[in-house]
Amino acid sequence: MNFKLKIWRQKDAKSKGEFKTYEVKNISADTSFLEMLDILNNDLVHAGEEPVAFDHDCREGICGMCSLHINGHAHGPSQAVTTCQMYMRKFKDGSTITIEPWRSAAFPVIKDLVVNRGAYDEILQAGGFVSVRTNSVPDGNAIPIPKADADESMDAASCVGCGACAATCKNGSAMLFVAARVSSLAKLPQGRVEGARRAKAMVAKMDELGFGNCTNTGACQAQCPKQVSIAHIARLNREFLAAKLQD
């Protein structure tokens, strides 16, 4: 297969970027999207050009490191997968593929397709944890947790923190990410204890970092590689409002 690639190139955070067009040839349909970029990069190195910088790591769809806005879709046109799990058979031979970095005020571009997602870490540092010390805990089976609750908590916890939700949201809102963590812990008795504090702190940090306001479009859920539901956003709203009304 052959493709024309329109890729965003930007030297560093301060530079102005632009699209550059490249061609890749003889790509097998079983090649993954990132392997296709590896091939392009190896060609670029041989040509003495700087390869395209993009974030990636596990290439199994779990680390959340890969990003890329491909032909208008966060993580490409396939549903429920990360960019690293996209295969070239999903694209039409000979087509042009536009590749952009995440675009969101809170995710500034570092280079080419690499953005800084440190804001997500900061939000979690604000309260995305249970305040227990190592070793000061009861037996794992001390508190039974209904299976349905554990399962729902796990649904939310499957978030990989890739940033697709904020990147795809027309409002640049990080609500799905924040909600996933808040909701996952809210469904467990261990997390419930400081639920109110957590919801308030994380929402406040999210707002402070310049993420937008959720308008319930559901675009985040549609593009989420882990299909985290916006029902968790409803729970976050509930947690936050209940906490605020008690203040």
- Report the alpha-carbon distance of residue 97 to residue 65 in Å, rounded: 21
How many CB atoms are closer than 10 A to CB 168? 25
Q: Which of 22, 40, 76, 85 binds other proteins (CB under 8 A)?
A: 85
Contact assessment for residue 17 and residue 109, using Cβ atoms and an 8 Å cutoff: yes
Q: How far is the CB of 37 from other proteins (least distance, A)?
A: 10
Q: How far is the CB of 31 from other proteins (least distance, A)?
A: 5
Q: What are 23's strand-pairing partners?
A: 4
Cβ closer to other proteins: 4 or 11?
Answer: 11
Cβ closer to other proteins: 87 or 94?
Answer: 87
Q: Tell me which residues in 100-139 interact with other proteins (CB under 8 A).
A: 100, 103-107, 109-111, 114, 116-118, 120-121, 124-135, 137-139
- The size of the interface with other proteins (CB under 8 A), counted in residues, is 135
Q: Which of 2, 21, 28, 95 binds other proteins (CB under 8 A)?
A: 28
Q: How far is the CB of 80 from other proteins (least distance, A)?
A: 8
Contact assessment for residue 189 and residue 143, using Cβ atoms and an 8 Å cutoff: yes
